[in-house]
């Protein structure tokens, strides 16, 4: 098998090159042989890939006829953290980890059927109830930190914002930068609030299955519980903050999440605001563009009733 035989989109190739540089280029060149290795190792018949972003994920069938999912990527901390999290979650609220090869950064997952994304549901209150239930299933006492992502490290990346703009805030609203800088010390002040989180739980990472609604693609993040709702509050992309009902429904979301999770509405809103700046920072291009969506979510959360 050659790379030319693989249905790789230009966007996927660009993502790998942009995120991993020379290591990404080498991995792309080795991808056909890595797929063949996985097929031999676990006796798989490989199917078509799903929509690809930063990992190669495809349908597969085992020798016994069972349907599974093969996932492999450029070896990196985030992928290792995902494997470790799946191992600890052990199928409770999340798809099951069936096989793994940490050295080769590839693993085999339970195939969720029917696999409908939470985003497909039209009732936003129902979606929020479901997401809260998944969160409560996932949270565990923090494990030994080795190999897991620390939420504090993610937010420490924002320390580079003001130096980039000579003390200013560039394309980011000053009010948002100042508010996030003021909020973060308090949000991280209680280490007892830390647990193992999914870290990217939103409408496209919760799927229907015969075992109920389950999460996929956990980041495996250790941090305060309140952060878990933040990615959900910014979704579903690409139009959530621009919908005419978004402000009203954001208030409703905060009420449902607060009641179900036992966390204050203001705490959830504050984590959401902080995540909008982090998301905007991650989305920023070298031309200082690309962050409009996250900043629109920030404006929405700032106006949400508390």
Q: SS3 helix, strand, coil % of the chain, rounded to 5? A: 50, 15, 30
Q: Which residue has the tokens 């966390």?
A: 263
Cβ distance 295 to 172 under 8 Å? yes
Burial of 33 (0-12, 13-18, 19+ CB in 10 A): exposed
Considering the entire predicted model, what is its pTM?
Answer: 0.94
CB distance 258 to 268 below 8 Å: yes
H-helix or E-strand containing 77?
A: helix 77-89
CA distance 115 to 34: 26
Q: Report the CATH fold assignment for 3-111.
A: Phosphorylase Kinase; domain 1 (3.30.200)
User: What is the pLDDT at residue 2?
Assistant: 47
Tell me the HSE value of 216 on the side-chain side, using a 13 A CA sphere: 22
pLDDT of residue 143: 82
Question: pLDDT tens string for the chain (306 positions)?
Answer: 444 468 799 999 999 999 999 999 999 999 999 999 999 999 999 999 998 999 999 999 999 999 999 999 999 999 999 999 999 999 999 999 999 999 999 999 999 999 999 999 999 999 999 999 999 999 988 888 788 999 999 999 999 999 999 999 999 999 999 999 999 999 999 888 899 999 999 999 999 999 999 999 999 999 999 999 999 999 999 999 999 999 999 999 999 999 999 999 999 999 999 999 999 999 999 999 999 999 999 999 999 998
Fold of the domain spanning 115-303: Aminoglycoside 3'-phosphotransferase; Chain: A, domain 2 (3.90.1200)
Domain segments of the chain as ranges: 3-111, 115-303
Same fold for the domain at 3-111 and the one at 115-303? Answer: no
The angle at the Cα of 92, spanning 124 to 45, to the nearest 5 degrees, equals: 95
């Amino acid at each position: 098998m050659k790379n030319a035989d693989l249905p790789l989109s230009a966007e996927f190739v660009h993502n790998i090159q942009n995120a991993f540089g020379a290591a990404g280029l080498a991995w792309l060149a080795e991808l056909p042989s890595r797929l063949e290795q996985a097929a031999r190792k676990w006796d798989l018949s490989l199917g078509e890939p799903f929509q690809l972003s930063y990992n190669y994920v495809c349908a597969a069938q085992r020798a016994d006829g069972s349907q599974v999912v093969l996932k492999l990527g450029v070896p990196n901390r985030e992928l290792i953290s995902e494997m470790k999290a799946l191992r600890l979650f052990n199928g409770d609220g999340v798809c099951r980890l069936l096989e793994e090869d940490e050295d080769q950064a590839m693993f085999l997952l339970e195939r969720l059927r029917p696999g409908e994304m939470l985003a497909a549901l039209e009732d936003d209150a129902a979606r929020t109830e479901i997401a809260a239930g998944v969160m409560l299933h996932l949270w565990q006492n923090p494990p030994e930190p080795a190999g897991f992502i620390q939420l504090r490290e993610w937010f420490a990346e924002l320390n580079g914002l003001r130096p980039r703009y000579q003390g200013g805030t560039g394309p980011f609203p000053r009010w948002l930068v100042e508010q996030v800088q003021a909020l973060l010390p308090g949000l991280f002040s209680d280490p007892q609030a830390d647990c193992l989180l999914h870290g990217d739980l939103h409408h496209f990472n919760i799927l229907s299955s015969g075992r109920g609604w389950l999460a996929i693609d956990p980041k495996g993040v250790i941090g305060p519980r309140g952060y878990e709702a933040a990615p959900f509050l910014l979704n579903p992309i690409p139009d959530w903050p621009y919908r005419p009902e978004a402000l009203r429904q954001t208030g409703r979301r905060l009420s449902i999440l607060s009641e179900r999770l036992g966390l204050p509405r203001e705490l959830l809103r504050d984590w959401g605001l902080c995540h909008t700046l982090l998301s905007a920072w991650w989305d920023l291009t070298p031309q200082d563009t690309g962050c409009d969506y996250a900043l629109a979510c920030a404006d929405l959360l700032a106006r949400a009733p508390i």
